[in-house]
């Protein structure tokens, strides 16, 4: 069974018996307390999910998560999960690093997520947050001899970075976590303190977003986005060995750029001052989608407005994620 078949079919067999009352809410307006969450093997109301104060992950950051989007296509009356299989594969990689096990395989997780979205009757763009975490309620920082738990939460979701006329960034004084200190290529809850420090520093200084350098001074990424710059028509992005998250949007953009636009892309280390000389800079991620950067450290990027390549990519990307490009339809899992 592949993930496409799985989401269309029922995921009931993956759920433990559910004795909650039948669903009586729609998705508008979103009432979080009554929303359905997959929690400890069942779909339950948000308000019926309980975590103990001593939950290990809460104290020590011992959790792995994903952020997946589903896009509503009004014309087709369909909700599409974007690259859900790749997100669950990455979640599995993160859990391997933390010596955790996921309760289901990727196709089953996609099926379950489809079931969750249907149960919530979402008919708008949605953000999906799977979380695998150490649930034992005990003191002692470690990875071994602890219980694992898993949940999936979802809610309607619009823009992550609210910057309609382009994003203004500062280079953060915080350096990106280094892979030999804390895994940079995994989405581990504890390491997001690095992102939080950078993001709030940028916010406190009047910027929209942070650009974070590695210990060696090379550009890594935004606080929760991968980074591209464009110089003389070439797309340049830091390589996977420069402490980046191996982003799924990054992979999508690289493919669009080379296959659909037929242009050159290079993965190589980027110096800080190249940011100031780029024709265009784009941040990208599941949450941020494509966020063109118009200013970095009080310097305009290019002409200081959203550039032509960013506009072209944004156009392609928004069609693609709503299942409008035949070639990429396999990345869009229909929910209904
Ligand atoms: N870097 C970090 C630190 C992130 O949190 C994210 C968001 N998941 C990204 C990059 C972009 O990754 P993706 O495109 O897979 O969402």
Give the length of the chain.
Answer: 336
Report DSSP letters for 128-148, one per residue: EEEEEEE--B-----SSS--E
Residue 245 has pLDDT above 90, yes or no: yes
Tokens describing residue 192: 């997001």
Of 2-16, 86-100, 118-132, 223-237, which range is least confident? 2-16
Residue 161 has pLDDT above 90, yes or no: no
Taking residues 36-51, what's their average pLDDT? 97
Give per-residue pLDDT as tens, 186-221.
999 999 999 999 999 999 999 999 999 999 999 999
Instruction: Classify residue 284 by burial, with Cβ atoms within 10 Å: 0-12, 13-18, 19+.
Output: buried
CB 189, CB 64: distance < 8 Å: yes
**Mean of per-residue pLDDT scores for the chain:** 93
Tokens describing residue 332: 């869009």
Taking residues 102-125, what's their average pLDDT? 98
Taking residues 10-17, what's their average pLDDT? 55
Residue 6 has pLDDT above 80, yes or no: no
Among 176, 130, 185, smallest CA distance to 270 is for 176
Residue 2 has pLDDT above 90, yes or no: no
Which contacts (CB < 8 Å, 24+ apart) does range 50-53 have? Answer: 51/135, 52/137, 53/137
Fold of domain 3-158: D-amino Acid Aminotransferase; Chain A, domain 1 (3.30.470)
CATH 3.30.470.10 boundaries in the chain: 3-158
The CATH architecture that domain 167-321 belongs to is Alpha-Beta Barrel (3.20)
Residue 266 to residues 160, 237, 240, 289, Cα–Cα distance (Å)? 27, 7, 12, 21
What pLDDT shows up at residue 13?
54
Q: How confident is the model at residue 158 (pLDDT cuts 50, 70, 90)?
A: confident
Tokens describing residue 31: 């009432």
In sequence order, the β-bridge partners of residue 213 are: 175, 219
Q: Looking at ligand 1, which atom is closest to the CA of residue 187? A: 5
The response to whether residue 225 sits with its C-beta less than 6 Å from ligand 1 reads yes
Of 18-22, 73-77, 212-216, which range is least confident? 18-22
pTM value is 0.93
User: Which of 249, 288, 317, 321 best tests ligand 1's pocket when mutated (most atoms within 8 Å of CB)?
Assistant: 249
CA 17 – CA 20 distance, rounded (Å) = 9
The response to whether residue 286 sits with its C-beta less than 6 Å from ligand 1 reads yes
What pLDDT shows up at residue 23?
30
CATH 3.20.10.10 boundaries in the chain: 167-321
Let me know if 232 is a catalytic residue. no
């Amino acid at each position: 069974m592949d993930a496409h078949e799985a989401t269309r079919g029922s995921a009931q067999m993956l759920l433990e018996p559910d004795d909650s009352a039948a669903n009586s809410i729609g998705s508008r307006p979103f009432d979080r307390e009554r929303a359905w969450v997959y929690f400890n093997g069942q779909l339950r109301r948000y308000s019926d999910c309980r975590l103990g104060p001593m939950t290990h992950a809460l104290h020590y950051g011992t959790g792995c998560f994903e952020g997946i989007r589903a896009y509503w296509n009004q014309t087709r009356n369909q909700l599409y999960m974007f690259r859900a299989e790749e997100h669950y594969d990455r979640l599995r990689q993160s859990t391997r690093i933390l010596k955790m096990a996921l309760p289901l395989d990727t196709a089953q997780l996609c099926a379950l997520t489809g079931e969750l979205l249907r149960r919530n009757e979402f008919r708008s763009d949605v953000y999906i947050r799977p979380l695998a975490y150490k649930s034992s309620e005990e003191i002692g920082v470690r990875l071994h001899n602890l219980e694992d738990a898993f949940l999936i939460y979802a809610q309607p979701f619009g823009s992550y970075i609210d910057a309609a006329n382009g994003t203004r960034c500062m280079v953060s004084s915080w350096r990106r976590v280094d892979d030999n200190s804390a895994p940079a290529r995994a989405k581990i809850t504890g390491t997001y303190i690095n992102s939080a420090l950078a993001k709030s520093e940028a916010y406190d200084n009047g910027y929209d977003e942070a650009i974070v350098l590695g210990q060696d001074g090379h550009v890594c990424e935004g606080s929760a986005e991968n980074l591209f710059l464009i110089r003389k028509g070439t797309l340049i992005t830091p390589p996977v060995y420069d402490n980046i998250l191996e982003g799924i949007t990054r992979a999508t953009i690289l493919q669009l750029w080379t296959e659909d636009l037929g242009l050159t892309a290079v993965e190589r280390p980027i110096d800080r001052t190249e940011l100031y000389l780029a024709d265009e800079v784009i941040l990208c991620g599941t949450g941020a989608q494509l966020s063109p950067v118009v200013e970095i450290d009080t310097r305009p990027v290019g002409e200081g407005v959203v550039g032509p390549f960013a506009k072209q990519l944004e156009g392609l990307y928004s069609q693609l994620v709503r299942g409008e490009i035949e070639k990429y339809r396999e990345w869009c899992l229909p929910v209904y």
